[in-house]
């Protein structure tokens, strides 16, 4: 599937000003990238797979690349309930806001906001999974009971997005080793994994423990020290 850059503009937020870039795939699905301190190197990306980012980055001068710090990147899949409605069932909203603030403070980075709600199963199935969680099933088993994968997300749009601003090396804000592995396998050097433990509360502690114990997320063994971070 190919991804094409559509348009961009300035986006003032409570964290500071970002450049917002819109990309669209062959099915008309839109994805968003917010950037700070990054210059566009290719306005006409339309690729079936991510190009080798070293080739794209070569469009910039060596001096520009040498002066630019390694950008701080967050790959964030859409979570309407957490990002917009401040749900306490997950940590998505606090993760997004913390990453936006960190990127503003760093002065060089991007949020790759991917439109794959509910770990890729869609909003309706996500709420169906919530109903099963209300009955006592964990986040992984709820998906499986619906006949759905535990995690259906894909990251093939990340390469074109990063190529748009000439990025071939990142400091990645994530607890998910799958994201590190995907970028590394597709020619993007993950210089550092930056952990992100925020928004822990009584309503989502078991959810996070399931991601740690059953889905391989790299979270601290003890959430007690983090439980009041976002209150």
Query: Which residues are known binding-site members for GTP?
Result: 74-78, 95, 117-119, 139, 174, 179
Q: Considering the candidates 19, 151, 168, 171, report the single residue annotated as catalytic.
A: 151
As annotated, the binding site includes 74-79, 90, 92, 95, 117-119, 139, 174, 179
* Annotated catalytic residue 153: yes
Binding residues for Zn(2+): 79, 90, 92
Report the C-alpha gap between 15 and 195 in whole angstroms: 20
3-state secondary structure the chain: CCEEEEEEEEEEECCEEEEEEEEEECCCCEEEEEEECCCCCCCCCEECCCCCHHHHHCCCCHHHHHHCCCCEEEEEECCHHHHHCCCCCCCHHHHHHHHHHHHHHHCCEEEEEECCCCCCCCHHHHHHHHHHHHCCCCHHHHHHHCCCCCCCCCCCCHHHHHHHCCCCEEEEECCCHHHHHHHHHCCCEEEEEECCCCCCCCCCHHHHHHHHHHHCCCCCCCCHHHCCCCC
Let me know if 91 is a catalytic residue: no
Enter the tokens of residue 156. 């093939």
From 91, 153, 168, 171, the catalytic residue:
153
Catalytic residues: 151, 153
């Amino acid at each position: 599937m190919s991804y094409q850059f559509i348009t961009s503009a300035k986006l003032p937020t409570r964290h500071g000003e970002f450049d917002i870039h819109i990309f669209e795939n062959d099915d008309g699905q839109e994805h968003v990238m917010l950037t700070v301190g990054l210059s566009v190197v290719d306005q006409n990306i339309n690729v079936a797979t991510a190009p080798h980012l070293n080739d794209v980055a070569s469009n910039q001068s060596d001096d520009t690349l040498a002066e630019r710090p390694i950008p701080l990147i967050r790959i964030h899949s859409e979570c309407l309930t957490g990002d917009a409605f401040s749900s306490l069932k997950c940590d998505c909203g606090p993760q997004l806001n913390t990453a936006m603030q960190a990127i503003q403070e760093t002065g060089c980075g991007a949020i790759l906001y991917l439109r794959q709600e509910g770990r890729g199963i869609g909003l309706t199935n996500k709420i169906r999974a919530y109903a099963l969680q209300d009955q006592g099933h964990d986040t992984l088993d709820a998906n499986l009971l619906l006949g759905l994968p535990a995690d259906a997300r894909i990251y093939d749009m990340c390469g074109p997005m990063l190529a748009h601003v000439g990025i071939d090396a990142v400091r990645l804000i994530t607890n998910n080793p799958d994201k590190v592995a995907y970028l590394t396998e597709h020619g993007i050097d993950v210089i550092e994994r930056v952990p992100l433990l925020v928004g822990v509360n009584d309503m989502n502690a078991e959810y996070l423990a399931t991601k740690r114990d059953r889905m391989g997320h790299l979270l601290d063994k003890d959430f007690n020290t983090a439980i009041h971070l976002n209150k």
